[in-house]
Amino acid sequence: MDQHHHSQLFKVGNAQVSRFEDMRLITGNGKYSSDWNAPDQLHACFLRSDRAHARIVSINYDKVSQVKGVVGVYIGADAQAAGYLRSASFLPPTGKGGMKARVPARPCLAIGKVRFVGDPVAMVIAESHLAAQDACELIDVVYEDLPAIVDPEEALKPGAPQLHDDVPGNCPVEAECGNEAATMEAIAKAAHVTKITVDCTRVTASPMEPRAALIEYKAESDSYVVHTPSQGVNMTRKQFATYSNLGEEKFRVEIQDVGGGFGQRSTVYPEYVSMMMAAKALQRPIKWVSTRTECFLTDTHGRANLITATLALDKNAQFTGMRIDWITDQGAYLSPTGPAGHIRNATTCMNGVYKIPALYGHFKVALTSTGWVAAYRGAGRPDIAYAIERAVDAAALELKMDPADLRRRNYVPLNEYPYKSATGSTIEIADLPGLSAKALSLADWPGFEARRAASAKKGKLRGIGMSAVIEPTGAGTYPRDEIEVSVGADGIVTLHTVSHSQGQGHETSFAMVTANALGIPAERVKVRQGDADRSVTMIGNHSGGSRTMVGAGTVCHIAANKLIDAGKSLAAEDLGVEPSQVNYSKGEFSSPHSKQKVTLAQVAAKKKLSVVGEGTFTSTYPNGCHITEVEIDPETGVTDIASYLSVDDCGHIVSHTIVEGQMHGAVVQGLGQVFGEHIVYDKDTGQMITGSFSDYIMPRAGQLKSIQMEEYTTLSKLGPLGIKGMGESGCTASLPALVNAVCNALGVRHLDMPLTPSKVWATIQQTKAQQAKH
Amino acid sequence: MHTFSYVKAKSLKEAGDMLAAHADAKLLAGGMTLIPTMKARLAQPSHLIDIAGIAELSGIDVKNGRLTIGAATRHVEVAKSAVVKKAIPTLAYLASQIGDPQVRNRGTIGGSLANNDPAADYPSAALSLNATIVTNKREIAADDFFQGIFTTALGAGEMIVKIVFPIPAKAAYEKFPHPASGFAMAGSFVSQDGKAVRVAITGAGPGVFRWKDAEAALGKKLAAASVENLNVDATDLNEDMHGTKEYRANLAKVMTKRAVAKLAGTAATSKSSGK
């Protein structure tokens, strides 16, 4: 497939481009955060709350001095003295009807109260990690237990236990979008109304690299050097600055490789800020590497949204309005990306891929005594798509319609793009009628009943499910993205970026874009990220929201062209002509007025050849249609994925290898949530039940044996390359496609994730019992 | 991990003496359960007595219709052993299905039986095959050895030396792996020797147990249909977020049916490949 579709735009020799970074990464030569060490470093260990909600009566750490090598203990009082009390929050200041958002404090070490199992209470600093661990066990904390509250709906009810004095009702903010009156009128006048509540379950990202940090204090400049997994150095610096009330210039962030982000690495966590206190007080670097248990308990979780969709249809099965009521569980504190992304992204694409004249969304943010929640691959995009696509399938079931036909009747047609949605967004370009027709044909949608019958003969329940989705990607929070490009005397082109790869392969894709613009082999372009000095001087977004190829990737093209212009001026002197008379091709400057040629390397050897390109971008809209068939073993409830087809519109594709990798990963990440991944807390105690991989069900390699991936492209005009950001869209499409298929196989209207074998089996038993009654 | 003393025992006697000398000592064979428990700071042994290198604990051989496996034999060795594959091929298959390659390369049969994890694979084989657990002090019949969750008949200072399996006419093992841990959510080991059929269920309950109703029915006719109308009593089975008692009872039955179907067609053990 790759060869068939391979773009002529990019070639590296004759080979299909595999990623330049892969040899380094797969041979163990990556440098991750825990690989950074400093001479004279000390080790941190955190004593964490073992209960969900309690008042701290006292903390006695007299006994820690019994452990050799302990040099310091820090508690909430130290956080208070330092003023490290509030993590950054990107939540807009006002919500529904001008309601002022109430962002709770998040001291870096708990002050007065703990609010979830894992809340850091004390930090021990010692000469070794082992000594710090031993000492933590000797700290005596007296708690006065308060009731745990893990259900967001319960947390929002009057009389619920209050987590924060300054957040009444455990509700930091309510928000709304669209037109309530018009939507309610559409629902009232509808020929048919479908109402469905879906739990977009709480999950955790589980990147291979655990959280870690090495924090160094530089006395001469009263500043800090930070090494920690990050999705972009600028966002990390900004959050450190906000948490510690210092200027961003006080932080230099130096990173090489990051082993998975998924939104979970976009947060500056309280542990890192706690370590700043010790680094400064003790004048020694502080190192910490979290355990996997700490990852489960304290890394930000994802999703955790309870969504009710009320879809109104007229007698022709045209959608006339939809109301979305959304409760987002944010855990005990608001993370920086917290509910803001969920609300913004869901608002932008609340119509999905459909013409829906009236829309209204109502969001309630809830705090519970659980781990905090942040952006997670899609951050609200998969959630809203899941609610809409489940509602559409439920409507089709109720109306006894083919779900593909119901969708076809309601797609926004190509000629109505750019489409202005009823929530106020302008969606650039997509062609769902054309794209989904291709998908339905490739999947042989009409032939499904024959395949269902064949499965039934084997005693298996077969189901088919589709999803049609779109989402906003690419918009950033910084004023522009910059790429510095320079040429060495050896002709090697070096790029510098502050957008950080967490595995996406920027060293390859950025090199390909640059090499194409310069007409040189991509091997001659080296990509540098996470440079400490440039983290202070360069501007650009972090890698999140599927934005990096749209932004920094496109700027590689812009910067390369700027470099050619700069080179022409320098080459003109050598060639003895005017700059306007200089041509550039494949690494060489020439002129019809000169017999000479000079190479990029020759120009760079004489004079500094370096430019900074920049660009500012808003949203692109990747979209797609995924169709999957499942076969269920009714004896065990095990779901086998019989086929999975994706047809996606990612705009122009720079590297098919990387896009396929992103799509595979995203589809499987959705599959993980559908079939197993679920963070569960005990309702009474607030203890996490799924705190290890013995209980947290990760997807396995064999679960999805192959994906048939196809393209259907419309180009974005946002940038010169036509790229649409696509790092998350596979996840957005796979959640509803897979759940739709399982519901179809079981003949049920809805089943909440995770669709574990035991849940599927229990559903089959219930259906059998109901059928026996009738 | 807390600090501890590591000692390497050179003989069975030396290991026994060390165990007697230190009340809080633990034997270390493969360490596949003990080491993670220590890393989680849930176990604090004063001493780890490494028994992996003791000659008396190793070796696989067949004599007089019995297969003997040394306690320190690693899962990978059982899985790949030509002797085991010939004598009781299903036992080799079972070993090949334990955990992952890393676990199979370290974990031992004695460690698995002594730990008696309710979801472990080996206890079902030992119980179904009516094995004898030979310790440094006595011989224990499998029927007496397993005493519920993480509990065995092993006394203080007692260690498993070897396991003696009578070679059955036929045997088969089927397990349903837990979707998260991969341990048996329910596993059924069915063996037949003459008229006697023994069915041992692991994973579903607080410990391995025999499903005697199925044994009686299969003793009359060795066919999956024989257990179709039977049900595992769900009363004392495990229940958690991953499955109800009823689901586990169902899995125990389905795995038994599948194991029986697998062995029903095979004439002799040497042909009843587990695969």
Tokens of A397: 């079931």
Q: How confident is the model at residue B265 (pLDDT cuts 50, 70, 90)?
A: low
Cis peptide before A339 (omega within 30 of 0): no
Q: How many residues does chain B have?
A: 275
Average model confidence (pLDDT) for chain A? 95
pLDDT surpassing 60 at residue A414: yes
| CA B66 from centre of chain | 17
Best interface-test mutation with A: which of B250, B254, B256 has the largest number of A CBs within 10 A? B250
Nearest-by-CA chain A residue for B179? A697
B-contacting residues of A 134-163, CB under 8 Å? 134, 137
CB pairs under 8 A between A and B: 47
pLDDT in tens, A507-565: 999 999 999 999 999 999 999 998 888 888 899 999 999 999 999 999 999 999 999 99
Please report the pLDDT score of residue A17 as a whole number: 52
Does any CB of chain B come closer than 8 Å to the CB of residue A761?
yes
pLDDT surpassing 60 at residue A2: no
**Are A335 and A104 within 8 A, CB to CB?**
no
For A246, the 3-state DSSP assignment is: coil
Please report the pLDDT score of residue A18 as a whole number: 77
pLDDT in tens, A557-573: 999 999 999 999 999 99
Q: Is the dihedral of CA A719, A722, A726, A732 positive or negative?
A: positive
B242/A636 touch (CB, cutoff 8 Å), yes or no? no
**Helix A729-746 × helix A381-398 angle, to 10°:** 30
Does any CB of chain B come closer than 8 Å to the CB of residue A758?
yes
Closest Cβ–Cβ partner in B41, B179, B246 for A757: B179
Q: Is the ipTM of this complex over 0.85?
A: yes
Tokens of A568: 């022409």
pLDDT in tens, A310-349: 999 999 999 999 999 999 999 999 999 989 999 999 999 9
**How far is residue A170's CA from residue A53's CA, in Å, rounded to a whole number?**
13
Cα pseudo-dihedral A649, A652, A658, A660, rounded to 10: 30
Nearest-by-CA chain B residue for A639? B179
Q: What is the CA radius of gyration of chain B?
A: 18
Which residues from A are below 8 Å from B179, CB to CB?
675-676, 697, 756-757
Neighbours of B103 (CB within 10 A): 17
B254/A693 touch (CB, cutoff 8 Å), yes or no? no
Share of chain B above pLDDT 90, in %: 93
Determine which helix (DSSP H) or strand (DSSP E) holds A737, and give its type and residue range: helix A729-746
Q: Please compute the mean of the pLDDT values over residues A175-199 and round it to a whole number.
A: 98
pLDDT surpassing 50 at residue A4: no
A133/B40 touch (CB, cutoff 8 Å), yes or no? no
Closest Cβ–Cβ partner in B180, B246, B247 for A693: B180
Q: How confident is the model at residue A1 (pLDDT cuts 50, 70, 90)?
A: very low
Does any CB of chain B come closer than 8 Å to the CB of residue A680?
yes
**Are A382 and A200 within 8 A, CB to CB?**
yes
B241/A676 touch (CB, cutoff 8 Å), yes or no? no
H helices present in chain B, as ranges: 12-21, 34-39, 75-80, 82-87, 89-96, 101-106, 109-115, 122-128, 142-145, 212-220, 245-264
Full set of structural domains in chain A with CATH: 2-30+475-615 (3.30.365.10), 33-152+209-298 (3.90.1170.50), 441-461+623-774 (3.30.365.10)
* CA dist A488 → A521, A534, A562, A658 (Å): 15, 18, 16, 28
* Backbone angle region of A118, left / alpha / beta, with phi > 0 → left and psi within -120 to 50 → alpha: left
A680/B241 touch (CB, cutoff 8 Å), yes or no? yes
Closest Cβ–Cβ partner in A696, A697, A762 for B247: A762
Q: How confident is the model at residue A773 (pLDDT cuts 50, 70, 90)?
A: confident
pLDDT surpassing 50 at residue B273: no
Best interface-test mutation with A: which of B2, B3, B181, B242 has the largest number of A CBs within 10 A? B242
* Backbone angle region of A585, left / alpha / beta, with phi > 0 → left and psi within -120 to 50 → alpha: beta
| CA B5 from centre of chain | 29
Q: How confident is the model at residue A475 (pLDDT cuts 50, 70, 90)?
A: confident
Angle at B132 between CA B130 and CA B138, to 5 degrees: 150
pLDDT surpassing 70 at residue A5: no
Q: How confident is the model at residue A23 (pLDDT cuts 50, 70, 90)?
A: confident
**How far is residue A6's CA from residue A13's CA, in Å, rounded to a whole number?**
13
Full set of structural domains in chain B with CATH: 5-166 (3.30.465.10), 173-264 (3.30.390.50)
Cα pseudo-dihedral A100, A101, A103, A104, rounded to 10: 60
Angle at A249 between CA A246 and CA A253, to 5 degrees: 100
Which residues from B are below 8 Å from A762, CB to CB?
244, 247
Amino acid at A571: A
pLDDT in tens, A395-410: 999 999 999 999 999 9
